[in-house]
Amino acid sequence: MKCGTGERKKMEIELKRALITGITGQDGSYLAEHLLSSGYQVHGIVRRVATRESDDRFKRINHILDRITLHSASLENYASLYQVMTNHEFHECYHLAAQSSVPDSFSDEFTTMETNIKGTQYVLAALRDVQPECRVYFAGSSEMFGQVEEVPQREQTRFHPRSPYGISKVAGFQLARNFREAYGMHCSSGILFNHESPRRGAEFVTRKITSGVARIALGLSSELVLGNLDARRDWGHAADYVGAMTLMLQQDDPDDYVIATGEDHSVRDFCEAAFSCVDLDHSDYVQTDPRFLRPAEVNTLLGDATKARETLGWQPKHTFQDIVREMVEHDLDMWRKYQ
Ligand code: G4F
C-alpha cells in the first residue's frame, strides 16, 4: 500500500510508528528505548533464526519485548522486506542492521558486502516502492574516512576506506544520498564515530578490555591480549548517539551529519583508564599479539560534530571516563557470577 501525504497526515494524529533494522544490537536496543520513551510505537525486523535463539539474540531487548512489535524478515531478501513495508505503515525507518565488525569484514568480505550493500539497497528500494514518505536514517560510519586526509574529520572530508566494512558503508551512504536525490526521499545519514556501552559486543576493543579487566580483577584471568595499542579513536556513548539519529529525522530537510565527541584517545589510554578503575596498572597485564592486527589499519579517527551541534542542537552527555567506568562496573557484576 502506498503511503501518500493524506495517509501520512492521518498517521500524524495516530501514534508515530518507527521501524528499526538491527533492533537486537547495541544501537537498536538504545534507540528502541529512546523512541518508546518519546511515545513512538516501535517495530523491529529480526531474522527468523533470531526468534529461535531468542535468549541470546534478544538479551539487549528482553526488558522491552512486550512493548515492541517484531517482524520476521531478512536483509538478504527483498521480498521479505517488501512484505513488512506493505503490511505496516511507518513514519520513520532506522536502518542500523549490518555486519559491523571491521576484522570480520577482512575474513568474510563477501558476506559483509552482501549484507551491508545489498541489504541497504533492499531496505531503501522497498520503502521507495511501498511508502516513499517514510523518513529514513542510514547508519554511516567514521570508518568511511579510513586513511584520514584531515584531522578532525567533518562532513566534507574525503572518504578513503581501509576495510571491506568501510567500503560497504561508503556504498550504503551513497545509496542513501542517491535515493534522496533521485526519488526525493527523506534519507539522512549519520557518520557516527565509535560509540560504546555495556551492551557493546565482545568483539570490539573497548568491551574486550573492560571484560578482560573485570576478569583479571576477580582472579578469573591473568592477562589481556590485544593488537594495535596506538590506534586512536573518538569514543562516545551509544545512548547519546541514538538521540542524534532521531533528531536527524525531525528536520524539514534530509542531510548527513558527523556525530562525535571531538576527543580522541588511544587503545592504550583506554586500557590505562579501565585498569585504574580497579586500582591495577595496565602495563602489568596487557600483552600484544600480531594476530589481532589488521591487514590495513585506520590509525586515527577524530570527529568534528559542529554541524550536528548547530543544526540539531545535539551534544554528547557522557565523558570518556563515564563510559569506561560504566563498562568496567557492568562487567565486574557480570563476571562475579563465575567467581
Ligand atoms: O573496537 P574496534 O574493533 O572498532 P573499529 O574497528 O574502530 O570499528 C567500530 O567503530 C566504527 C566507527 O568508526 C564502526 F563503524 C564499526 O562498526 C565498529 O563499531 O577497534 C578499534 C581499534 C582498532 O584500531 C583496532 O586495531 O582498536 C584496535 N584494537 C587493538 N586491539 C583492537 C584490538 N580491536 C579489536 N576489535 N580487538 C583487539 O584485540
> Domain of 41: which CATH number?
3.40.50.720
Q: Given this model, what pLDDT does residue 2 score? A: 46
Distance (Å, rounded) from C-alpha 186 to C-alpha 49? 31
Q: How many domains does the chain have?
A: 2
Q: Given this model, what pLDDT does residue 39 score? A: 97
Give residues (CB < 6 A) around ligand 1: 100, 102-103, 141-143, 193-194, 203-206, 208, 226-228, 231, 233, 267, 292, 294, 297, 301
Q: Given this model, what pLDDT does residue 6 score? A: 58
* pLDDT level of residue 3 (50, 70, 90 thresholds): very low
Ligand 1 atom closest to Cα of 228?
30
Residues 108 and 173 in one domain: yes
Residues 248 and 329 in one domain: no
**Distance in angstroms between the alpha carbons of the first and the last residue of the chain:** 55
Residue 127 lies in a domain: yes
* Top mutation candidate among 138, 153, 194, 195 for ligand 1, by most atoms within 8 Å of CB: 194
Residue 308 lies in a domain: no
Residues 322 and 279 in one domain: yes
Q: How far is the CA of 205 from the centre of ligand 1 (A)?
A: 6
Residues 254 and 269 in one domain: no
**Which protein residue's CA is at the shortest distance from atom 7 of ligand 1?**
194
Residues 81 and 212 in one domain: no
Residues 23 and 60 in one domain: yes
Last residue of a domain, one of 226, 243, 259: 259
Residue 17 lies in a domain: yes
**Which protein residue's CA is at the shortest distance from atom 8 of ligand 1?**
102
Give the pLDDT confidence of 34-80 residue by residue, as tens digits. Answer: 999 999 999 999 997 655 556 788 999 999 999 999 999 999 999 99
Please check the confidence at residue 5 and state whether its pLDDT lies above 60. Answer: no
Q: Are 58 and 37 in contact (CB under 8 A)?
A: no
Residues 43 and 184 in one domain: yes
Q: How far is the CA of 32 from the centre of ligand 1 (A)?
A: 24
Distance (Å, rounded) from C-alpha 257 to C-alpha 234? 15
Ligand 1 atom closest to Cα of 298?
24
Considering the entire predicted model, what is its pTM?
0.95
Q: Which residues neighbour 281 within 8 Å (Cβ) at sequence distance 6 or greater?
A: 275
Q: Are 46 and 65 in contact (CB under 8 A)?
A: no
Residue 306 lies in a domain: no
Q: Of 1, 44, 38, which is closest to residue 16 (Cα–Cα)?
A: 38
Residues 111 and 169 in one domain: yes
For residue 295, give the amino acid letter.
P
Residue 296 lies in a domain: yes
Give the pLDDT confidence of 269-314 residue by residue, as tens digits. Answer: 999 999 999 999 999 999 999 999 999 999 999 999 999 999 999 9
List of long-range contacts for 177-181, beta carbons under 8 Å, 24+ apart: 177/256, 179/124, 179/128, 179/136, 180/254
Residues classed as catalytic? 141, 143, 165
Residues 143 and 214 in one domain: no
**Which protein residue's CA is at the shortest distance from atom 12 of ligand 1?**
194
Residue 309 lies in a domain: no
**Which protein residue's CA is at the shortest distance from atom 23 of ligand 1?**
231
Residue 109 lies in a domain: yes
pLDDT, mean over the chain: 95
Please check the confidence at residue 204 and state whether its pLDDT lies above 90. Answer: yes
Print the domain residue range for 229.
202-234+264-301+318-336
Q: Of 201, 176, 192, which is closest to residue 141 (Cα–Cα)?
A: 192
Residue 310 lies in a domain: no
Q: How far is the CA of 71 from the centre of ligand 1 (A)?
A: 30
Residues 230 and 97 in one domain: no
Residues 223 and 154 in one domain: no
Distance (Å, rounded) from C-alpha 335 to C-alpha 210? 11
Residues 41 and 173 in one domain: yes
Distance (Å, rounded) from C-alpha 190 to C-alpha 5? 26
For residue 165, give the amino acid letter.
Y
